[in-house]
Chain A
C-alpha cells in the first residue's frame, strides 16, 4: 500500500466516523497532539545522542504542533470531546522513529517534518472531498489550506540548511566503546 493510498484509507475511516464539527475538532486535536508529543520525544532522543542542533529543531517543531493542537481548544480552554468510536490510533502527521539517525542533519530532520505536513495535507484534502456532511467538508478544506501553509513554511525553512554531505553518517568510532 503506498503512503497516499494509506492516507486515503485513513481519510475514509475518519469520514465515516466523524459525525459533527465537534468530532472533527477532536480528531484534529488528537492528530496534532500526537505529532507534538512525538517531536518532543525525538528532541529528547537527539539530545541524549548529543545531536543538539537537530534536538533544538525538533523541540521547535514540537512547539509549533502544540500550538496547532491548542487551536482546537474551546474558548474556555477545555479540550475537545473525545475521539469518536472507531478512531483509535491516529498518527496522520506523526514522524516515524524509524527515520531517525543520530548524525542526521537539520535538513534531513526538516525533510521528515515536510513529509508529515504533506501527509496531513493529503488527509484533509481527502476528507474535504469525501466527508458526507458539507460542514465537515468545509472545515477539512480549511485545514488543508492551513497545512499547505505549513508545507510552504517548512520548505522555506529547509533552504536555510545545506544538503547533507555525502558521508554525513560516517562515524570513525565503533558503536559503544565498552
Chain B
C-alpha cells in the first residue's frame, strides 16, 4: 500500500476564474503546476509563484500558493529577492516570452548566471498575447502583424541557447498539449538544484491560431539530457524549436548568500567611535 500523498493537484487551484481564451495553452500549464506541486508533495503555503505582466503572467492568482504578480519583465528579480530572503520556500517564476526575453531579457541573462535555486517557466507563444498580437523576440521573421507588416525580418531569439550560454543549470522544453509531460518536466526542474529554465510551447489560439498545429510538429528529443555544455550547445544550435525534453542538466552549485556571523546591530558601532 503506497503512502498517502499529502496533496492532490486540486489543492493548488484557486477559485479565481482565468481570463484566458478557451484553448489557450496556459490552461494546461496551470494544470501542470498543480500536478507537479502535488507530485513533489509541497505544502501550498511553502510555494510562491512569481510573475510579470502578460496573459501567461496571470498564473499566480490562479494558484492557491503564495504569489506575486509584479510589473512587466521583472518576475525574475522579484523571485530572486524572495528566494534569497527565504531560501526554504520553493520559488517558481513564470511568464511569457515578451516578459522574459524582451523587457526582462537582462534579468534572464543574470538569473541564469547567478544560478539561484529557482525554476523559471516561460510559456512561449511567440507573440505578445496581452497587448493583442505584436511580434515578440521569439516570433518567426515572416509573421505578419499590424505592427510589423510583412514580418519583422529579424532572427528569432533562441532562449535555450542563451540560457545555456548564460549558465542555467537545467534547460528543458515541453509542450502544453501534453500537460502530464509538462508536469513531469516541472517536477524535474524544481528538483534540480540551481536555476532551472523550462520553455513550454504554449499556443496563443487567439493571435496565433496557426499554433493549434504545434501538436503535429513537436517531438520527443531523440537524445537524453547531457551534462556537457558543449554537446548541449551543438544540439540546441541545430534545434528547430520543437524538440521536447531535458536538453541540458548541469552540476554547478547554486548561489547561496554566505551565512551570518551572529553579530548584533550594536556590535557594528565600534567603528564609528572617534
Residues of A within 8 A of B (CB): 37, 42, 44-46, 48-49, 51, 81-85, 88-89, 91, 96-102, 104, 174-176
Alpha-carbon gap, A85 to B5, bound state (A): 10
Select which of B4, B27, B132 is within 8 A of A97 by beta carbon.
B27
Query: A98-B203, A104-B22 are known contacts. Are A48 and B2 too (CB-CB below 8 A)?
Result: no
Q: How far is the CB of A44 from chain B (nearest CB, A)?
A: 6
Interface locus among B13-21, B65-73, B110-118, B158-166: B13-21
The reply to whether B22 and A37 contact each other, CB–CB distance below 8 Å, is no
Alpha-carbon gap, A101 to B35, bound state (A): 24
Q: How far is the CB of B189 from chain A (nearest CB, A)?
A: 16
The reply to whether B23 and A101 contact each other, CB–CB distance below 8 Å, is yes
Name 8 extra pairs, CB < 8 A, besides A88-B39, A98-B176. Answer: A48-B19, A96-B177, A97-B28, A98-B177, A98-B205, A175-B132, A175-B133, A175-B206
The reply to whether B132 and A176 contact each other, CB–CB distance below 8 Å, is yes
The reply to whether B2 and A84 contact each other, CB–CB distance below 8 Å, is yes
Chain B residues whose CB sits within 8 angstroms of the CB of A81 once the complex forms: 1
The reply to whether B22 and A49 contact each other, CB–CB distance below 8 Å, is yes
The reply to whether B180 and A96 contact each other, CB–CB distance below 8 Å, is no
Chain A residues whose CB sits within 8 angstroms of the CB of B176 once the complex forms: 97-98
Q: Is B24 an interface residue (CB 8 A)?
A: yes
Convert B1-44 into 0s and 1s, putting 1 for each residue whose CB lies closer than 8 angstroms to a CB of A.
Answer: 11011000010000001110111110110010001000100000
- CB nearest to B22 among chain A residues: A100
A-B contact count (CB 8 A): 75
- CB nearest to A42 among chain B residues: B22
Chain A residues whose CB sits within 8 angstroms of the CB of B35 once the complex forms: 88-89
The reply to whether B25 and A98 contact each other, CB–CB distance below 8 Å, is yes
Query: A85-B2, A89-B184 are known contacts. Are A97 and B31 too (CB-CB below 8 A)?
Result: yes
Chain B residues whose CB sits within 8 angstroms of the CB of A176 once the complex forms: 132
The reply to whether A91 and B180 contact each other, CB–CB distance below 8 Å, is yes
Q: How far is the CB of B252 from chain A (nearest CB, A)?
A: 29
Q: How many B residues, CB 8 Å from partner?
A: 32
- CB nearest to B29 among chain A residues: A97
Q: How far is the CB of A94 from chain B (nearest CB, A)?
A: 9
Q: Is B208 an interface residue (CB 8 A)?
A: no
- CB nearest to A98 among chain B residues: B177
Alpha-carbon gap, A46 to B228, bound state (A): 47
- CB nearest to A83 among chain B residues: B2
Chain B residues whose CB sits within 8 angstroms of the CB of A82 once the complex forms: 1-2, 4-5
The reply to whether A48 and B17 contact each other, CB–CB distance below 8 Å, is yes
- CB nearest to B207 among chain A residues: A175
The reply to whether A174 and B132 contact each other, CB–CB distance below 8 Å, is yes
Select which of B10, B18, B184, B215 is within 8 A of A98 by beta carbon.
B215
Q: Is B212 an interface residue (CB 8 A)?
A: yes
- CB nearest to A87 among chain B residues: B2
Q: Is B232 an interface residue (CB 8 A)?
A: no
Interface residues of B in 131-166 (CB under 8 A from A): 132-133
- CB nearest to A48 among chain B residues: B17
Query: A88-B39, A175-B207 are known contacts. Are A101 and B132 too (CB-CB below 8 A)?
Result: no
Chain A residues whose CB sits within 8 angstroms of the CB of B59 once the complex forms: none
- CB nearest to A84 among chain B residues: B2
Alpha-carbon gap, A88 to B209, bound state (A): 32
Interface residues of B in 174-203 (CB under 8 A from A): 176-177, 179-180, 183-184, 203
The reply to whether B132 and A100 contact each other, CB–CB distance below 8 Å, is no
Q: How far is the CB of B82 from chain A (nearest CB, A)?
A: 28
Alpha-carbon gap, A131 to B27, bound state (A): 34
Alpha-carbon gap, A51 to B212, bound state (A): 21
Chain A residues whose CB sits within 8 angstroms of the CB of B23 once the complex forms: 97-102
Chain B residues whose CB sits within 8 angstroms of the CB of A102 once the complex forms: 21-23
Q: How far is the CB of B142 from chain A (nearest CB, A)?
A: 22
Q: How far is the CB of B224 from chain A (nearest CB, A)?
A: 17
Chain B residues whose CB sits within 8 angstroms of the CB of A88 once the complex forms: 35, 39, 180, 184
